[in-house]
Amino acid sequence: MYFLNSNTDAFLSSVYDRLRALAEGNGRRMDEIDYFADAVKEAKAQVHQKNDANNAAAAAAAAAGGGVMTTATDAPDYERSIQDALEKVRRTRMADPRRVPPEEHAFSIEIREALGEKIKKKKRVRSSRGGDDDDDDDDLEIVRNNDDVHALKCPLTGMLFANPVRNKVCGHVYDKAGLAQLLSMRKTTCPVPGCSNNSLSQAQVEEDEQMKLKVKRHKTREEAEKRKRDLEDDEDDQEGAGYTVVD
């Protein structure tokens, strides 16, 4: 015998855990891509340096012997060079106190905030003095699980952004339809109070994908909260009537 909500909570919890794990896995993969890119650059520089040294040695030998210059014919072991460089880069990055762990990557933060999680970040402080390099980390609690709804609304229409565009000059965001209406009235001053941009035009704006994501996340969160409230109301009704779901 169990309440209907118990299975739902367990399922949602498992989904949240999987999403968090996927986000952190994505962070680790992004780290590995960065490591590999740096390793390739380092290995390439080493191969060029070795080739230059070989060519210089061959030229010196040819000049000393009065013969024709020959170069080394052994092909560089690119795979080994890249593998060695990758291990070196990975060790260096992992030991860097400024390294951002996978769970604090921007994508992970976005996912966790979308799930309504309270994010705790650590402020990494590098000691400027020698000796003790204890990271005196101050826990900075960052609670950003609710976007400021006002910031998600167009200053012209007062509605949530549908097709947000960002002004490349002053940085302000408008809804595309609202901006078109404003410009049709031959008004060229940015509608945000205090903004000094008085040459507003369509050429100044570009699509704001980040704002689109924020609005979508806000709507998703609102819908999830509504479903949760509805589910809790249903459970309260069942409890009040003495109903339970029997296995």
Q: Which two tokens stand for residue 176?
A: 């595309």
DSSP states of 48-61 as a string? HHHHHHHHHHHHHH
The structural domains of the chain, ordered by start, are: 4-142 (no CATH), 149-241 (3.30.40.10)
Instruction: Specify the pTM.
Output: 0.40
Residue 203 exposed, middle or buried by CB count within 10 Å (0-12, 13-18, 19+): exposed
- Give whole-number Cα distances, 182 to 178, 197, 199, 201, in Å: 6, 14, 13, 10
- Give whole-number Cα distances, 128 to 100, 135, 229, 246, in Å: 20, 11, 51, 64
113 vs 68: CA distance, rounded Å: 68
240 vs 245: CA distance, rounded Å: 14
**Entry field: residues in the chain:** 247
State the pairing for strand pair 205-207/173-175.
unpaired
Question: Could you count the other beta carbons within 10 Å of the beta carbon of residue 12?
Answer: 15
pLDDT tens for the chain, 247 residues: list them: 344 455 676 777 777 778 878 878 887 888 888 888 888 888 888 877 887 777 787 777 777 765 555 555 566 677 888 888 889 888 888 888 887 887 777 777 777 777 766 665 555 544 443 444 444 443 333 334 444 678 899 999 999 999 999 999 999 999 999 999 999 999 899 999 889 999 999 999 999 998 898 898 888 888 887 887 777 776 666 655 554 444 4
48 vs 54: CA distance, rounded Å: 10
195 vs 187: CA distance, rounded Å: 14
For the CA atoms of 141, 146, 147, 153, the dihedral, rounded to the nearest 10 degrees, stands at -160
